[in-house]
A and B are shown apart, each in its own frame.
Chain A
Amino acid sequence: MTARQSPGIRRPRLVAPALMLVSGATISLAALVGQGGFAALSCGAVTLVAAAGYYVLGGRDSDAGAAVGGRADERQLSAITVARAAAGMATQVCVAGYLVVAAAVGSPPWPAVVVGAAALLGAGAHLARGDRDLGLRSPGRPDERQAIHRVQTLAAAGDWSGMAALVGYATSLALGRGPWHFLVFILVGVAAFGITLAVGSAGGHAEG
């Protein structure tokens, strides 16, 4: 592969599958505690297939392969950040929708509150680390730096809301409660991430 390798990581292609295995093992354990052996085995099987899929995808000569394989160059890293931001925005739209439906049917809104609060915390933590100029007070369009900073802030919000949804999903499984509320947020975020990355990478043709 041709892109710059991450310094300090000998086998970057293994990072994503390893993270998938760790997350999947945690969720499988939670399922074992709260739902029983069959649910845990199902989660374990899905995890193994997903980790194997990530490993195979990480070896492909494509933008998605570079992203999953840990060898993304500057353009691909930028596309990944935009996709993370899109996942964050889609999750927040889902949170808003959830709150409306929960208010309408009288169900507890806390899963959406947890995921929404995590997004706010993520954005706040990102802004607290340094540059806070998002260009919101400036007239007209944001300049290049402000636009990039907005996307990075949204990406941080997306990361935190995704993590909150994952933790919420595992916790709900372990407590034997319906985990579907959190699964909706996870699926919406993953779909938005994948679609944005695919659309951003489309076009152009290879030669030579």
Chain B
Amino acid sequence: MRNRMRELRSERALSQAEVAAALQVSRQTVIAIETGRYSPSLPLAFRIAHFFGSTVDDMFEPVDDEVLR
């Protein structure tokens, strides 16, 4: 799953720790999501989208093999 979290975080000049605190997750989890190593649950995905003033659709994009053909 690709996402725009790092891009939006950089635009807002926020640290990973600040985003983690706002989302009530660990800093390690923010890192894992940004690097694509972890796909968040639907509730967390909505929290992330809401935090960045975006939508889940806009924040997350499935990679090719995650799309059902």
Q: Which residues of A contact B (CB under 8 A)?
A: 1-4, 61-63, 66, 71-76, 201, 203-208
Give Cα A188 to B36, complex, Å: 31
Q: Does B44 contact A (CB under 8 A)?
A: yes
Q: Are B26 and A2 in contact (CB under 8 A)?
A: yes
Q: Does B17 contact A (CB under 8 A)?
A: yes
Q: Which residues of B contact A (CB under 8 A)?
A: 9, 14-18, 20-21, 23-29, 31-32, 34-35, 37-38, 40-41, 44
B27 cross-chain contacts in A, Cβ below 8 A? 2, 61, 206
Partner of B26, one of A73, A203, A207, A208: A73
Give Cα A66 to B24, complex, Å: 13
Given contacts A74-B40, A74-B41, A75-B38, contact A201 B15 (CB under 8 A): no
A73 cross-chain contacts in B, Cβ below 8 A? 24-26, 29
Q: Are A208 and B15 in contact (CB under 8 A)?
A: yes
B24 cross-chain contacts in A, Cβ below 8 A? 2-4, 73
Partner of A75, one of B17, B18, B21, B29: B29
Q: Are B26 and A1 in contact (CB under 8 A)?
A: yes
Give Cα A74 to B40, complex, Å: 8
B40 cross-chain contacts in A, Cβ below 8 A? 74-75
